[in-house]
Amino acid sequence: MNASIETSSQNQRIAVILLIFTIAFIDLVGNLAVFLFATTVKTLQNSFGRLSASQSFAEAILCAVFMCFYCPMVVFEQNTRILIFIAYAIPCFTSIYMHLANHCLLPYVDFGWYFGVNTSASCDVIRFYVDFCKDFGVVSLIAIVDVSTMIMIKVTASRMNSTSSNSLQSQKHRDREIAFVKQCIIQGGVFAAELISFFIISGMQTNPVGIFICTTVAWCSVHSIDPYVLIFLNSELRNMLKKNPIGMTLPKSRKLPPGPITLPLIGNIPQIVYYSWKNNGIVPAFEYFRKKYGNVFTLWLGPFPHVSIADFETNHEVFVKNGNRYKDRFLSPIFEELQDDHGLVFANGEKWAELRKFTMVTFRNMGVRNETMEEKIMEELDARCADLDNEAIDGKTVVEHGKLFELMVGSVINSLLVGKRFGEDNKEEFLHIRHLIETFNEVFTTFDMIMPVWVLKTFFPTRYAIAADGMNTIKDYVGRVAEKRFEEVKSGKYVLEETNPKDYVDAFLIKMQKEKDHPAYTMKSLKYVLLDLWSAGHDTTATTLISGFNQFMHHPEVTSDAPTKVNGYELDAGEILTAQMSALHVNEDIFKHAGEFMPERFLENEKLIHQLIPFGIGKRSCVGENLARAELFLVFGNLLLRYNIQPHGKLPSTADQHPFSAVKIADTSAKLEFIKI
């Protein structure tokens, strides 16, 4: 008997959770849509529009409380004061006051399944008058607005009808006023119904189910209806939402490759988080989606679709054969505003195409005509090897290989860009640049990337200021050498050699002199290009070197004959783009035993080397690919030829240190022994 009662109780709880969560989620979607876009519609760029947006923001918070607090609390058997205070009191200032000043708990009431002030008559009085006054005030305000609007329409009706020269405009104005009145009447009626249900009808109920329907369900339903009344009656807002990415998340609105079920606004983020947790990493999660939905699948990152291509043939077809069609990329709103189509990473259009072409030609000239690229890499490698030899004790040097390779790669990049390597005398400059970039990355989040700029400026001005100031600080610091050289060229203190530029900045300044009127060749563009080349070219190459030597420590048999095998060998170092390289490179149909370290696979099957695309493919492939390949080949090959490298202490981990991150993070904590051969 007891078991039957317990089962019935559990079923009731599940039904309550599903019902309230569904209503609250619908409420959240509608209120967020109104909050984000109401004031961008011309007909709502007024006090009423701002009031609607503010009200929707508050209601979105309240419905989130129901989703994230009320629904989980239903499964608890007792009051939990800490959870209540954190999840409910913080977003509701009235509740904070009641909890702290009057010790009134706001728990889930086990027998009634509804919110209510518990434990004392005084708390009941406070709760009743606070809620009643709030709801009565809303209904009264709506009634006043309704009456005022109808009087205004009545007074101006004869004037609008008599104006024949502008009758169409007058009719549109009248239609908007009537729609506004309809909205106010409907909202007023809905709030009045909730007022009666919550404060009158619920008091007549003795059945817990009746109390639940008249209180919790009624409250949630009212706030769910409210935003959709505005959307339904305002055709301009409705049409804008259909064209907006929120509208595009509707299942039937776009024909896209298969993928998980999409939720409005949040897209497939819940599924990505769940399968990343379940499979212990973001890459296994993408491999799961590939296996389930095929080599071409769609994931929605919030309101934006991300079509992932996880096989080489389709990537080649799309990004090489049809490269011009897909050369533009989606730009984060904040980066689009801050960089204003400058640079190589967060830019599109003619300026981007011109800068990419110039950069690739410049790097090619450095590597082919003057062998500058190889010379600078070998110069840096020789200097680091000399440091290792000078620090050796009994022919052995123990170093943290993470710091070694990060400094080495940073020095090579800086030497190619501004002609200045990092030695012991100026190593602090490198550490300062790394500190600036790491600090920016710690503060800047996915939230900042997907939020509309006006939302950040209006509601999160501090976050926007941090992002803008951080990017400008890094850009100005990286570009300070270029700016100083530009001034020296103008004053005659520095002479550019047109036929033999010493570095990338020289080549860019020469191009600026030739193309004075071209919008791509400005100091602002140069600073952003240097920032992009520095930040994008450093971590990827350094991580690949660190990961490679971590693997070598676990597979010493590979290093014993590496000089005969390293030629033509590339390590996997992809990045997650529309060309879904993370899933492609673990595709067992292409790379057998993809999770194992087997460099010999590329010697046994030469076709695999062409299907390994760690630098991307097509028009958006890495502009510094030649530099990265040269660094990897020369550093791996020369270090293995000069030293016998062994682990010092524990073996470094080969696992991704942050498997849920969008980029690979290698283990840099271990130390290696470099023994001179």
Token pair listed for 38: 């109401």
Tokens of 124: 């009941």
Other beta carbons within 10 Å of 144: 12
Q: What is the pLDDT of residue 575?
A: 30
> 299 has which bridge partners?
306
Across the range 297-303, mean pLDDT stands at: 77
For residue 647, the cross-strand partners are 672
Q: What pLDDT is stored for residue 377 in this prediction?
A: 77
Q: In this predicted structure, what is the pLDDT of residue 518?
A: 86
Query: CA-CA-CA-CA torsion for 48, 53, 54, 56, nearest 10 degrees?
Result: 120
**Cβ contact 195:139 at 8 Å:** yes
Q: Encoding tokens for residue 538?
A: 């450093």
pLDDT digits (tens, 9 = 90+) for 486-536: 888 888 888 888 888 888 888 899 888 888 888 888 888 888 888 888 877
Q: Mean of the pLDDT values across residues 316-338?
A: 71
Helix (H) or strand (E) holding 462: helix 461-478
Domain 2-243: which CATH number of 1.10.10.60, 1.20.1070.10, 3.30.565.10, 1.20.990.10: 1.20.1070.10
Residue range(s) occupied by CATH 1.10.630.10 in the chain: 318-676
Amino acid in position 563: P
Helix 401-418, helix 625-642: angle, nearest 10: 130
Tell me the pLDDT tens digit for each residue of 97-119: 434 443 443 333 333 333 333 44
Backbone φ and ψ for 384, nearest 5 degrees, come out as: -70, -40
Q: Over 50: is that where the pLDDT of 662 sits?
A: no
Which pLDDT band holds residue 70 (cuts at 50, 70, 90)?
A: low
- pLDDT tens track for 116-132: 334 455 555 555 555 55
Q: Which of 10-14, 140-144, 152-156, 562-566 has the highest mean pLDDT?
A: 10-14
Q: Letter for the amino acid at 10?
A: Q
Task: Tell me the β-bridge partners of 296.
Answer: 309
CATH-assigned architecture of domain 318-676: Orthogonal Bundle (1.10)
- Give the predicted TM-score (pTM) of the model: 0.56
Whole-angstrom distance, CA of residue 363 vs CA of residue 369: 10
DSSP character string of 334-395? HHHHHHTT-SSSS--HHHHHHHHHHHHHHHHHHHHTS-HHHHHHHHHHHHHHHHHHHT-BTT
Q: What is the rounded end-to-end Cα distance, in angstroms, of the chain? A: 80
Give all strands of the β-sheet with 643-648 in edge-to-edge order: 396-400, 671-676, 643-648
Beta pairing class for 304-309 and 643-648 = unpaired
Cβ atoms of 69 and 87 within 8 Å: the answer is yes
pLDDT digits (tens, 9 = 90+) for 243-280: 554 454 444 445 778 888 776 666 787 788 788 878 87
Query: Annotated binding site for heme, which residues?
Result: 622
Annotated binding site: 622
pLDDT tens-digit map of 525-551: 888 888 888 877 777 778 777 777 777
CB-facing half-sphere around the CA of 654: CA atoms within 13 A: 13
Query: What stretch of H or E contains 596?
Result: none
* Contact (Cβ atoms closer than 8 angstroms) between residue 273 and residue 302: no
- Gap between the Cα atoms of 287 and 281, Å rounded: 10
Strand partners, 307: 298
Alpha helices by DSSP H, listed for 555-592, are 556-560, 562-565, 581-584
pLDDT digits (tens, 9 = 90+) for 50-65: 667 767 777 777 777 6
The answer to whether 230 touches 237, Cβ cutoff 8 Å, is yes
- Per-residue pLDDT, averaged over 267-294, amounts to 82
